[in-house]
Amino acid sequence: MKEIKAEILAIGDELLYGQIIDTNSLWISQVLTLIGVSVIHRTTIGDDEASILSAFRAAEHRADIILITGGLGPTSDDLTKPLLAKYFNCELSLVPEALEAVSAFFSKRGRELTELNKLQAHLPTKCQYVPNLMGTAPGMWFEENGALWMSMPGVPHEMKHLMESFVLPQIKERFKLPVIYHKIIQTTGIGESWLSDLIHDWEKSLPAHIKLAYLPSLGQVRLRLTAFGKNLDTLQEEVNHLITKLLPSIEKYVFGYDDETLEEAVGNLLLNRKSTLAIAESCTGGYVSHMITRIPGSSAYYQGSIIPYHNGFKTTLLEVNQHTLDLSGAVSEETVIEMAQNVRMKFGADFGLASSGIAGPDGGTAAKPVGTVWLACAYNDKVVTKKLQLASDRMLNIQISALSALNLLRNCILEINE
């Protein structure tokens, strides 16, 4: 089956200045991918005639479908419409239906039509007028030079409206599209290269129509399987079968699938066994608690936290043994163990999670350099600890420590469940 290729052109100086983030191209990429159209190229250019015309030329050589956003306002720096007319070598002329729509849009809002607004109803003679019910800039559909072209305003909800009401149905009607199935495996606690070593043989065994991509992000690596075919159920079966073959080698690193986050996964594990959680944070300074509580419904399992940031409060509020602190120091396995056990007791929780470390950039010593972090998880009569040796970036140390703490908790829950 022929691959259908799409290119997205985003037009506007404000994009190149970095004054607004281009969520349009992201959204269009997502919806096209879901229906089996390959987005092969995204281009962002300014309000500049030469750039726009050469982008048109380049796009029509690459793509079957060219989706253009932006540069459609009523003001003079909006060049998309006149340049489309110039590029397709035709005039602009008044489209009564479009004028009606613009007038209606304004009268409905009790505003009167300006001359500038009327100009918005003048469209290239070669385009098909596509009504924009959300705004004043009409959509313009062209079938020229062997490609399908759609020009849309940059206002996200207007663009989405035109895509959903006209463009996507058109594309589905015009092309025989492949069926595509995506599945993401979420892993944490292992780096990209180790993961790739672990699953090397499995990866080599993948059939040609199923592609694997590594998507690393802070403390996590997502494995994305993309399957191309004719039948969705078959693809799902194939992919799920491949995953069952893969899992045994990496199970301990897999915390979820698709969009699930680590904090959601941990929350669901706690929910399922009706367990509760309390947290004692030192170096993570509230970030672990925040990750847990940003999940809706976390109040069902999260009891609360104590953050004894100043060491004195590790003894007064968390009743860590002064002797332990004197002997081993605040950043030590001994101390973090007592923190986890005591916070669990104080909140009467099933699991007590604790962190103590040197987030940096200062405060390190030869024995305990910046980036030294101790984590502990207490449950039943057990306590499991983990030591991290991170670098000197404070925010990264906080984030990575928090992720590791949640993963430590996750592994403890899984161990009980077994």
We find the least distance from the C-beta atom of residue 304 to its own copies, in angstroms, to be: 4
Q: Does 299 bind its own copies (CB under 8 A)?
A: yes
Q: Does 101 bind its own copies (CB under 8 A)?
A: no
Which stretch in 80-88, 103-111, 143-151, 171-179 sits in contact with its own copies by CB under 8 A? 103-111
Look up residue 167 and give its DSSP letter.
I
We find the least distance from the C-beta atom of residue 151 to its own copies, in angstroms, to be: 17
Q: Does 289 bind its own copies (CB under 8 A)?
A: yes
Residue 84 burial class via C-beta count within 10 angstroms: exposed 0-12, middle 13-18, buried 19 and up: buried
Q: Does 271 bind its own copies (CB under 8 A)?
A: no
What is the rounded distance in angstroms from the CA atom of residue 213 to the CA atom of residue 160? 28
List 35, 51, 170, 206, residue binding its own copies (CB under 8 A): 51
Q: Give DSSP secondary structure letters for 226-260.
A: EEEES-HHHHHHHHHHHHHHHHHHHGGGEEEETT-
Nearer to its own copies, 41 or 90 (CB): 41
- By CB under 8 A, what part of segment 117-136 binds its own copies? 117, 133-134, 136
Copy the structure tokens of residue 116.
């500038």
Which stretch in 162-170, 281-289, 333-341, 373-381 sits in contact with its own copies by CB under 8 A? 281-289
Q: Does 75 bind its own copies (CB under 8 A)?
A: yes
Q: Does 329 bind its own copies (CB under 8 A)?
A: no
Q: Does 257 bind its own copies (CB under 8 A)?
A: no
Furthest-apart CA pair in the chain: how many Å?
Answer: 87
What is the rounded distance in angstroms from the CA atom of residue 310 to the CA atom of residue 327? 17
Residue count, binding to its own copies (CB under 8 A): 106
3-state secondary structure (DSSP) of residue 23: helix
List 49, 93, 94, 157, residue binding its own copies (CB under 8 A): 157
We find the least distance from the C-beta atom of residue 418 to its own copies, in angstroms, to be: 27
Other C-beta atoms closer than 10 Å to the C-beta of 264 total 19
Q: Does 405 bind its own copies (CB under 8 A)?
A: no
Nearer to its own copies, 126 or 282 (CB): 282
Q: Does 174 bind its own copies (CB under 8 A)?
A: no
List 3, 77, 233, 237, residue binding its own copies (CB under 8 A): 77
3-state secondary structure (DSSP) of residue 264: helix
Copy the structure tokens of residue 339.
């923190």
Q: Does 212 bind its own copies (CB under 8 A)?
A: yes
List 309, 327, 380, 414, residue binding its own copies (CB under 8 A): 309
List 116, 247, 327, 414, residue binding its own copies (CB under 8 A): 116
What is the rounded distance in angstroms from the CA atom of residue 34 to the CA atom of residue 390? 39
- 8 Å CB contact between 92 and 81: yes
- 8 Å CB contact between 318 and 339: yes
Query: Kind of pairing, strands 139-144 and 128-130?
Result: antiparallel
Q: Does 191 bind its own copies (CB under 8 A)?
A: yes
